[in-house]
Structure 1
Amino acid sequence: MNLGNCPNCGSLFVKSPFRDICESCYREEEEAFEKVYRFLRKRENRMATMVQIVDATGVKESLLMKFIKSGRLQLAQFPNLGYPCDRCGKLIREGRLCANCLTDLNKQLETLQQEEEMKKRHQMRSVYYTKKDDEN
């Protein structure tokens, strides 16, 4: 049995691979999800933004993002929803990084790899061979 403190309320609970919070907080999250789902199920609300959903349901933005990231809310059905890029905060709909940050990180990796290759080539050229004295 693996015990831990709930990150939401601090109460002691038995950790499981399926749940990262205590039973009480889990029930609260499920109620919040139902509120959001009922709101978004209505055709007129499917174009709602994150702010509009928070205002209409009272559910925290961080919890909405948790629902999106865990796949409980499918973004394909809600075109104005997204979550922030882990690096810059720009609203994205998939992955962890926006296209700009991904491109920038890839460029930085390429530059680093090129620098490493140049160091290796330089080190290989710096090797000196000396003749032993007894070979004269």
Structure 2
Amino acid sequence: MDLDNCPNCGNIYVKNTIRDCCDACYKKEEADYDRVYRFLRKRENRAATMETVAKATDVEEYLLQKWVKKGRLQVAQFPNLGFPCDRCGTLITKGKICENCATSIKQELSAFENEKNRQDQLHTAVYHSQDLKK
């Protein structure tokens, strides 16, 4: 049994895999979720942005992002919802980083590997040339 402080209110609670906050905050989050879901179920609100949903329901954007990450709010049904890329902050709907950042990281890794291979080849060439001098 792990005890932790609730990240929302600071009260001590028993940490588990289902809830990441105390019972009181969990109940408030569930009430907020119900309010958001009722808002989004209306046809005219399905394409609402994060900001619009947050203002209309008086629910913090970080909670909306949390629910999208956990799959409670399906982006297939609500296409303008998402959460920020861990690297650049662009709104994404899956994973941890956006496609642009993933491509950039792959390019950086490729350049690093190429440089490492070049350094290894130089080291090998120097090593062999020293053997030839002996």
- Do both share a fold (TM > 0.5)? yes
Q: For residue 64 of structure 1, what is the aligned residue in structure 2?
A: 64
Task: Determine the C-alpha separation between the residues in 2 that align with 1:100 and 1:38.
Answer: 34
The code of the aligned residue for 1:44 comes to: E
Task: Determine the C-alpha separation between the residues in 2 that align with 1:62 and 1:46.
Answer: 19
Matches for 1:1-136 after TM superposition, within 5 Å? 1-127=1-127, 128-129=130-131, 131=134
SS of the equivalent of 2:100 reads helix
Q: 1:85-129 deviations in whole A, cap 9, x for unaligned?
A: 211112222222222211111110100111111111112122132
Task: Determine the C-alpha separation between the residues in 2 that align with 1:82 and 1:4.
Answer: 28
Q: Quick check: 2:69–2:93 contact (8 Å CA) kept in 1?
A: no
What count of residue pairs does the alignment treat as equivalent? Answer: 131
The code of the aligned residue for 2:60 comes to: K
The code of the aligned residue for 2:23 comes to: E
Q: Which runs of 5+ in 2 are unaligned?
A: none
Q: Whose Rg is larger?
A: 1
Please, what is the CA RMSD of the aligned residues? Answer: 1.3
Q: Which runs of 5+ in 1 are unaligned?
A: 132-136
The code of the aligned residue for 2:115 comes to: E
Q: 1:7-42 deviations in whole A, cap 9, x for unaligned?
A: 111111111122221111111111111010111111
Task: Determine the C-alpha separation between the residues in 2 that align with 1:3 and 1:59.
Answer: 27
TM-score by length of 2: 0.91
